Structure 1
Amino acid sequence: MTYQPIPVPPRDNRRTLRIVLIVVGVVLAVCCLGGAVGGFFLYGAAKEAVGPVREATTGYLDAVRAGDHQRAYELLCREERERTSRADFDRRQAAEPRLVDYDIAGLTVNNTNGRVRGTATVRLTTETGGESTRVLTLVKEDGAWRLCG
C-alpha cells in the first residue's frame, strides 16, 4: 500500500489581495486624517501669529486713508515717534497724495534672538491713480504691534 498525501486546497489569492488592500486603505486613511488635523492646527498657529500684524497694518492704513493723522501717529513705534515729531508727520502725510485703497499682499513674523519683528507687503493706490508696493516693518512693543520705519 502506497501512501498518498492529502491534496492541499489551492490558496485563494483573492483573500490575500483583499487583506492587503484593506491594510493599505487604513494606512492611507490614517495618514490623510493626520495630515488634515496637522494642517488645521498649523494653519491656526500661523493665523494666530500673523493676525495681530494684519490688524496693526490695517489700523494704520485705515487711519492714513481716513486722514486721521493722530491715530496713525499713535500706531508708530516709540523709536519712530522719537525720530519724527507729530507736526513733521502731519506735514509728510499732507505732502503725499491721499491714500484711497490698499491691499495686503503678504505678512511675515520673525523671532530672531528673542526680537520679534513683522513685515507687511502692501499695495497702495492713491487718489492720483498711482500704485505702489511698500514693505512696512512692525515691531512688538509692550505687547502691541507698531509700525516702525
Structure 2
Amino acid sequence: MTSGFEVPQPPRRQRPWKTILITLGIVLVLCCGGAIFGGYRLFKSVENATEPARTAAETFVTNLENGDVDAAYGLLCKPTQAKFTLDAFKDGVSKQPKIQSHTFGGVNVMNYNGKVSATVALVLTADTGFTERHVFPLVKEDDQWRVCGQPY
C-alpha cells in the first residue's frame, strides 16, 4: 500500500576530505608552477647579465688563438690601451706561449656603486701543452665589455 508519502532518505554523508584534497592539489599545482616559472626567470636574468661579459672575454682569447692581435687589442679598455701601445701589446703577446684552445671556467658580474665590472675565468691551453686557469678582469665602457688590467 502506498500512501503518497515517500520515505525520507537519510542525508547524504559529507566527504570533507575529498574537498580538502582537491583544494590542496590545486594549491600545490599552482605553487609548483609558480616556483618553476620564478626559477626560469631568475636563470634567464642571471644569464642575460653574465653572457655578454663571457662573450667578450672569449672573443678576446679567440682573437689571440687565431693570431689576430689587432682585434684583441681593440677589445681592451681605454686605461689598458693607454698603458700598453699596440706595438707593446704585440711584443708582450709574442713573448707568451701561443694559446691553442680555451674552455670556460666561470663568470662573476658585479655592480659597485653603479660601476659595473666582471671577472671571467678561462682555462687556457698553450701550444706547449701547459694548461692555466686565467682570470680576465672586464669593465663596461660605452655599453661594451672590455678586457682591462693585465690582459694576458
TM-score by length of 1: 0.88
Say whether 1:122 aligns with 2:90: no
1:25 & 1:123 partners in 2: Cα distance? 48
Matched, 1:29 2:3: no
Q: CA deviation at 1:11?
A: 5.0
Give a deviation string over 1:43-90, Cα, whole Å, max 9, x none.
221111112112101110110100111000110000000011111111
Aligned position for 2:97:
97
Matched to 1:37, the amino acid is F
**Between Structure 1 and Structure 2, which shows a larger proportion of helix residues?**
1
| Aligned partner letter, 1:133 | R
For 2:70, the equivalent position in structure 1 comes to 70
Using the alignment, how far apart are the partners of 2:79 and 2:116 within structure 1?
A: 15
Q: Which amino acid aligns with 1:86?
A: L
Distance between the aligned counterparts of 2:118 and 2:128, measured in 1?
A: 29
Query: Following superposition of structure 1 onto structure 2, how do residues 39-118 of structure 1 map, counting pairs within 5 Å?
Result: 39-118=39-118
Unaligned runs of 5+ in 2: 1-9
Share of identical aligned residues, percent?
Answer: 34
Residue 9 of structure 1 deviates from its aligned partner by 6.2
Q: Deviations over 1:84-115 (max 9, x none)?
A: 11111111111111101111111111111000
Find the aligned partners of 1:31 and 1:134 in 2 and give their Cα distance: 42
Instruction: Tell me how far 1:38 sits from its aligned partner.
Output: 1.1
Q: What is the RMSD computed on CA atoms of the aligned residues?
A: 1.5
